[in-house]
């Protein structure tokens, strides 16, 4: 696992965007696995700026997002489908048909997850998977558990994750209690993985991911076993190293 030190959030975002843009420039039809949340926004903004300057095109790229809240339709402002359009897709030249997010509006969890697994497998899995990391070490919505998850599945969100994500809702009570998420095994199929982290509240999770035992109690720790995993984190997130 390669660790890249960044000075702060802006530096982390630029360094992450550099890695993503290099992937797309070298392989214009790249399959990208993407993440939501506040951490990747800076990287998306940097990629948008470079696209608008003509430095990078996403016209041939296809994307597969990690997760979606169960019970939210695509056009609901708190959905991850809506988030990706607002924060990234609507400002670049990617084809809408080439963007994919689990269908949170499908109440049949088994069918929704099986269909998303089929789509990701048919795409050949991501060339580059972007990940954030939760305060409890989760990746996607794969929460701490006794085993590592496999394919896309429906997960009950922990209270810490609900609280962390409540900033995007009017109150924690409005946060859905379940989500559809790519499994750890699916994430590990990506040819390269980029994890980004910022802030002292992520310090313990980043340390456990990189230096702790490989255990489903910290789902991100399995990335130690990936042959091409890069962590870009700022000084606060790396403060325990």
> How far apart are the C-alpha atoms of 107 and 69, rounded to whole Å?
11
For residue 107, list its beta bridge partners.
none
Which pLDDT score is estimated for 63? Answer: 98
Which pLDDT score is estimated for 158? Answer: 82
Given a contact cutoff of 8 angstroms between Cβ atoms, the answer to whether 238 and 3 are in contact is yes
Q: What's the whole-model pTM score?
A: 0.94
Per-residue pLDDT, averaged over 73-100, amounts to 95
Angle at 14 between CA 9 and CA 17, to 5 degrees: 120
Q: What percent of the chain has pLDDT over 90?
A: 87
Sheet holding 229-234, edge to edge: 2-6, 229-234, 193-197, 128-131, 31-34, 62-65, 99-100
Which pLDDT score is estimated for 174? Answer: 80
- 175-203 pLDDT per residue, tens: 888 999 999 999 999 999 999 999 999 99
Which pLDDT score is estimated for 103? Answer: 96
How is residue 215 annotated by DSSP? B
> How far apart are the C-alpha atoms of 65 and 63, rounded to whole Å?
7
Kindly tell me if the per-residue pLDDT of 167 is higher than 80.
Answer: no
Q: Which residue has the tokens 């689990």?
A: 102
To the nearest whole number, what is the mean pLDDT of the chain?
95
Kindly tell me if the per-residue pLDDT of 31 is higher than 90.
Answer: yes
Q: How far is CA 103 from CA 75, 108, 193, 211, in A?
A: 11, 10, 24, 35
Confidence label for 164 from pLDDT (cuts 50, 70 and 90)? confident
Looking from the CA of 91 toward its CB, the CA atoms found within 13 Å total 16
* Torsion (CA) 14, 19, 23, 28 in degrees, nearest 10: 0
Kindly tell me if the per-residue pLDDT of 42 is higher than 90.
Answer: yes
The token pair at 33 is 């696995």
Confidence label for 157 from pLDDT (cuts 50, 70 and 90)? confident
Kindly tell me if the per-residue pLDDT of 5 is higher than 80.
Answer: yes
What structural domains does the chain harbor? 2-234 (3.40.50.1360)
Q: Which residues are tagged catalytic? A: 67, 136, 138, 143
> How far apart are the C-alpha atoms of 128 and 191, rounded to whole Å?
6
Name the nearest CA neighbour of 139 among 187, 178, 179, 180: 187
Kindly tell me if the per-residue pLDDT of 99 is higher than 80.
Answer: yes
Confidence label for 170 from pLDDT (cuts 50, 70 and 90)? confident
Kindly tell me if the per-residue pLDDT of 165 is higher than 80.
Answer: no
- 109-147 pLDDT per residue, tens: 999 999 999 999 999 999 999 999 999 999 999 999 999
């Amino acid at each position: 696992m390669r660790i890249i030190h960044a000075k702060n959030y802006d530096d982390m975002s630029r360094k992450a965007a550099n890695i993503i843009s290099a992937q797309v420039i070298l392989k214009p039809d790249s399959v990208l696995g993407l993440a939501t949340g506040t951490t990747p926004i800076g990287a998306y903004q940097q990629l948008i700026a470079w696209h608008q300057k003509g430095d990078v095109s996403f016209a041939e790229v296809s994307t597969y997002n990690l997760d979606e809240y169960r019970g939210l339709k695509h056009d609901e402002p708190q959905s991850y489908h809506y988030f990706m359009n607002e924060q990234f897709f609507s400002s670049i030249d990617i084809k809408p048909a080439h963007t994919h997010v689990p269908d949170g509006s499908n109440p049949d969890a088994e069918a929704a997850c099986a269909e998303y697994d089929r789509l990701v497998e048919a795409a050949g899995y991501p060339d580059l998977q972007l990940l954030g990391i939760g305060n409890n070490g989760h990746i996607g919505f794969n929460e701490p558990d006794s085993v590592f998850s496999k394919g896309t599945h429906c997960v009950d969100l922990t209270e810490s994750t609900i609280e962390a994500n409540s900033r995007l809702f009017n109150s924690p009570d409005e946060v859905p209690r379940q989500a559809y998420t790519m499994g750890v095994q699916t994430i590990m199929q990506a040819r390269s993985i980029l994890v980004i982290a910022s802030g002292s509240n992520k310090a313990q999770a980043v340390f456990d991911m990189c230096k702790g035992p490989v255990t489903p109690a910290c789902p991100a720790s399995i990335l130690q076993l990936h042959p091409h995993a890069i962590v870009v984190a700022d000084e606060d997130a790396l403060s325990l190293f």
